[in-house]
């Protein structure tokens, strides 16, 4: 069964994973910590 | 490329507003933590409470131009980025230990919610599909589960909006009521965290409720909530099959594909980072390597905190008191009964299994 509105293959969830992994890679490569 | 630029232009004003308020809220709470001397008042000026209440006040009292709306709606994106980044902090063995018992508790919680809400919806004469949407929302993960289930069971648009209104009203109430109950019962961070993850429906509000209680509670809330989110596809599939057998919705042709489509992929991202950092810690056991990794997980924790800060501002801005009043008394009655029953049931369950819950 299909949803009424067909999702794009790269959903919002996948984008969150891509962004989080990119940030992780940058941190591991030496991106300085943003103060909290 | 044009689509990308259009989307950026559309989202930019709202995102800029959320970022500005997030930084302002954080600075304000840092200042208040120094100047307020009475401990209990200081705890009310915590960063999470200021972000949410500040967002609510601005969203409801200041007539914001429509240009901000699309960007404000992006808080779900930040929420999920924050959760994925949290994965780096958890050893995968801890995730498996708490996840195992968490999943078992979630299955019981979902079955109770579906049975109770279904019964209650029938007693109140609510349409069957509205009852199912409410069950999905209360049982699993609020708004995204309702949005995921609505097309699969071919629910009416007004039933979908109604079910979402119920979830949002009680998400807002949970932010206040749950931490108060937790303090009254002197619940530990672990018990409160698991309870909030099991009982607060919408992921953003669940994370915020855990964070209001304590940072330690937030870790437990996130894991318990992810267990619920992970089971979303199975429950929606169950309802889709139920309605298609009664000729009230199309049949599901490929169940495996259906489950994969409904599976929240950010949970995989969370698990992926947990596995990665656990592996790195195991492969490089020296003290120096562990110090290096600790500094990196610290940096990721800060990023995750900022992502949650943006989420809390977005949740506050999105909570519309006018919409709550417009939704009427019926969602309130159905919601009070459903949420109260689930809250009591899950708190009982959490206390009952307290001895088996692993400490993170």
DSSP B154-220: T--HHHHHHHHHHHHHHHHHHHHHHHHHHHHTT--HHHHHHHHHHH--SHHHHHHHHHHH-HHHHHH
B170: domain range?
A: 76-356
Rounded alpha-carbon distances, angstroms, from residue B326 to B11, B125, B128, B162, B165: 27, 20, 22, 10, 9
CA gap B77, B57 in Å, rounded: 22
* CB B93 within 8 Å of CB A28: no
- Torsion region of B125: left, alpha or beta (phi above 0 gives left; psi -120 to 50 gives alpha): left
- pTM here is 0.85
B21 within domain boundaries: no
B188 within domain boundaries: yes
B284 within domain boundaries: yes
| C-alpha atoms less than 13 angstroms from C-alpha of B57 in its C-beta half-sphere | 8
B335 within domain boundaries: yes
Residues 6+ apart with CB under 8 A from B279: none
Q: What is the 3-state secondary structure (H, E, C) of B97-150?
A: HHHHHHHHHHHHHHHHHHHHHHHHHHHCCCCHHHHHHHHHHHHCCHHHHHHHHH
Q: How many CB pairs under 8 A join A and B?
A: 78
Q: Nearest Cβ partner of B303 from A11, A16, A34? A: A34
Q: Which of B33, B84, B86 to mutate to test the interface with A (most CBs of A within 10 A)?
A: B84
Pick from B220, B231, B164, B179: nearest CA to B197: B220
- Closest chain B residue to A23 measured between Cα atoms? B300
Write out the two tokens for B181: 């109950």
Q: Which helix (H) or strand (E) holds B85?
A: helix B75-86
Tens of pLDDT, residue by residue, chain B (360 residues): 788 888 889 999 999 999 999 999 999 999 999 999 888 888 888 888 899 899 999 999 998 999 999 999 888 899 999 999 999 988 898 888 888 999 999 999 999 988 888 888 888 877 778 888 888 888 887 787 888 888 888 888 777 877 887 788 888 888 899 999 999 999 999 999 999 999 998 888 999 999 999 999 999 999 999 998 888 888 888 888 888 888 878 778 788 888 888 888 899 999 999 999 999 999 998 999 999 999 999 999 999 999 999 999 998 998 888 877 776 676 667 777 888 899 999 999 999 999 888 887
B189 within domain boundaries: yes
Q: Nearest Cβ partner of B81 from A5, A20, A27? A: A20
User: A20 and B77: CB-CB below 8 Å?
Assistant: no
**pLDDT band with cut points at 50, 70 and 90 for residue A2:** very low
**ipTM, 2 decimals?**
0.84
CA distance between the termini of chain A:
45
B57 within domain boundaries: no
Q: Which of A13, A14, A15, A23 to mutate to test the interface with B (most CBs of B within 10 A)?
A: A13
- Strand segments, DSSP code E, in B206-271 are none
Query: Which residues 1-36 on chain A approach chain B with CB closer than 8 angstroms?
Result: 1, 3-5, 7, 11-17, 19-21, 23-24, 27-28, 31-36
Pick from B330, B303, B324: nearest CA to B81: B303
CA gap B109, B111 in Å, rounded: 6
B47 within domain boundaries: no
Give residue B249's pLDDT. Answer: 81
- Closest chain B residue to A14 measured between Cα atoms? B265
Give residue B352's pLDDT. Answer: 95
Residues 6+ apart with CB under 8 A from B294: none
Q: Which helix (H) or strand (E) holds B21?
A: helix B2-35
User: A20 and B296: CB-CB below 8 Å?
Assistant: no
Pick from B352, B84, B36: nearest CA to B195: B352
| C-alpha atoms less than 13 angstroms from C-alpha of B59 in its C-beta half-sphere | 24
| Smallest Cα distance from A36 to chain B, Å | 6
DSSP conformational letter for B224: H
Q: Nearest Cβ partner of A21 from B269, B295, B298? A: B269
Write out the two tokens for A30: 């030496």
* CB B96 within 8 Å of CB B278: no
B-chain residues near A31 (CB < 8 A) = 299
**pLDDT band with cut points at 50, 70 and 90 for residue A10:** low
Domains in chain B, number: 1
B53 within domain boundaries: no
């Amino acid at each position: 069964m299909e949803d009424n509105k067909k999702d794009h293959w790269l959903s919002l969830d996948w984008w969150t994973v891509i962004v989080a992994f990119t940030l992780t890679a940058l941190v591991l490569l030496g991106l300085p910590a943003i103060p909290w | 490329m044009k689509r990308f630029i259009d989307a950026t232009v559309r989202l930019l004003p709202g995102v800029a507003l959320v970022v500005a308020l997030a930084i302002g809220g954080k600075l304000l709470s840092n200042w208040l933590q120094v100047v307020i001397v009475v401990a209990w008042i200081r705890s009310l000026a915590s960063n999470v409470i200021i972000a949410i209440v500040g967002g609510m006040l601005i969203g409801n009292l200041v007539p914001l131009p429509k240009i901000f709306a699309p960007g404000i709606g992006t808080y779900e994106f930040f929420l999920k980025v924050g959760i994925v980044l949290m994965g780096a902090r958890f050893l995968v063995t801890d995730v498996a230990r708490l996840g195992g018992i968490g999943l078992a508790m979630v299955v019981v919680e979902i079955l109770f919610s579906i049975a109770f809400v279904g019964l209650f919806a029938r007693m109140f004469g609510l349409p069957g599909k509205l009852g199912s949407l409410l069950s999905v929302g209360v049982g699993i993960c609020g708004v995204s589960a309702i949005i995921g289930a609505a097309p699969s069971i071919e629910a009416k648009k007004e039933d979908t909006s109604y079910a979402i209104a119920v979830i949002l009203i009680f998400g807002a109430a949970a932010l206040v009521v749950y931490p108060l109950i937790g303090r009254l019962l002197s619940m530990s961070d672990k018990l409160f965290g698991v309870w909030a993850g099991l009982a607060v429906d919408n992921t953003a509000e669940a994370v915020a409720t855990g964070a209001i209680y304590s940072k330690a509670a937030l870790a437990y809330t996130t894991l318990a909530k992810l267990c619920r989110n992970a089971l979303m596809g199975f429950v929606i599939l169950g309802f889709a099959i139920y309605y298609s057998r009664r000729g009230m919705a199309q049949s599901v042709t490929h169940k495996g594909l259906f489950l994969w489509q409904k599976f929240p992929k950010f949970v995989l991202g969370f698990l992926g980072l947990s596995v990665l950092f656990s592996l790195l810690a195991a492969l490089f056991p020296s003290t120096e390597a562990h110090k290096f990794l600790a500094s990196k997980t610290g940096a990721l924790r800060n990023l995750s905190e900022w992502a949650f800060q943006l989420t809390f501002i977005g949740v506050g801005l999105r909570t519309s008191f006018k919409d709550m009043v417009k939704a009427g008394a019926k969602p309130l009655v159905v919601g009070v009964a459903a949420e109260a029953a689930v809250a009591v049931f899950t708190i009982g369950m959490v206390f009952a299994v307290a001895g088996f819950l692993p400490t993170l």
